[in-house]
């Protein structure tokens, strides 16, 4: 893999982590999750949408 591709992949991974952390913060502000929970565990507490 070239350095340029490695850098692009690293940038993508960092952006995904930042996005997951922001989503976790939003859910925590709405009463979901607890300190120390992962973003996935916090999202898992959100009830399914009704259709």
Q: Is residue 7 part of a domain?
A: yes
> Considering the domain boundaries, does residue 15 fall inside one?
yes
39 CB-near residues (< 8 Å, 6+ apart): 20, 21, 23, 24
pLDDT of residue 15: 97
Q: 18: domain range?
A: 1-30
pLDDT digit string, tens, across residues 15-36: 999 999 999 999 999 999 999 9
Answer whether residue 17 is part of any domain.
yes
pTM of the model: 0.76
In a domain, 36, yes or no: no
Number of domains in the chain: 1
Rounded to whole angstroms, the Cα distance separating 17 from 14 reads: 5
């Amino acid at each position: 893999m070239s350095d340029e591709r490695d850098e692009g992949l690293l940038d993508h991974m960092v952006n995904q982590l930042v996005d997951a952390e922001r989503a976790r913060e939003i859910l925590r502000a709405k009463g979901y999750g607890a300190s120390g929970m992962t973003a996935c565990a916090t999202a898992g507490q959100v009830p399914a949408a009704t259709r």
